[in-house]
């Protein structure tokens, strides 16, 4: 069965360092992968999308890589700040076998805490 794993439930890093979060998947061939940020009691907020034919995507201090051979995505936040503290979710599209409709399946999330 399909499975999405994010490297750790919680990650603490010092302000100014680079945070690296991992998303691994099995038995998928996603067309794209997305990363979201979620703050407590709020809905997820979209950060970045990377397609299967892209190796890397950047947006300001954020960088995402996508290795379809390793079935892994890495999400980096450089020069991290306490305001970056949140839960980060990876999400993969999954084509339904019964038709063309697609849906997002979320990983379990990594709670990042940036310490001042």
Partner 1 sequence: DTEVTQTPKHLVMGMTNKKSLKCEQHMGHRAMYWYKQKAKKPPELMFVYSYEKLSINESVPSRFSPECPNSSLLNLHLHALQPEDSALYLCASSQLTSGGVSYNEQFFGPGTRLTVL
Residues that bind partner 1 (CB under 8 A): 31-32, 34, 41-46, 49, 89, 93, 96, 100-109
Nearest approach, Cβ of residue 15 and partner 1 (Å)? 25
Angle at 8 between CA 23 and CA 59, to 5 degrees: 50
CA pair distance 88, 75, nearest whole angstrom:
9
The C-alpha atoms of residue 35 and residue 26 are separated, in whole angstroms, by 17
- Tell the smallest beta-carbon distance from residue 70 to partner 1 (Å): 22
CB of 16 to partner 1, least distance (A): 28
Backbone CA torsion sign across 7, 49, 77, 83? negative
Q: Which is nearer to partner 1, 31 or 70 (CB)?
A: 31
Least separation in angstroms between CB 98 and partner 1:
9
DSSP state of 15: T
Tokens of 101: 């409709």
Query: Among residues 46 and 115, whose Cβ is nearest to partner 1?
Result: 46
């Amino acid at each position: 069965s399909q499975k999405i794993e994010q490297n750790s439930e919680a990650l603490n890093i010092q302000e100014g360092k680079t945070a690296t979060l991992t998303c691994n998947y099995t038995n998928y061939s996603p067309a794209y992968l997305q990363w979201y940020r979620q703050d407590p009691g709020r809905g997820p907020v979209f950060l970045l999308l990377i397609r299967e034919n892209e190796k890397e995507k950047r947006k300001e201090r954020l960088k995402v890589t996508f290795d379809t051979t390793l079935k892994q995505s890495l999400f980096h936040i450089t020069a991290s700040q306490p305001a970056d503290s949140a839960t980060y979710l990876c999400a993969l599209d999954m084509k339904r076998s019964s038709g063309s409709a697609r849906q997002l399946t979320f990983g379990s999330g990594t709670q990042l805490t940036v310490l001042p």
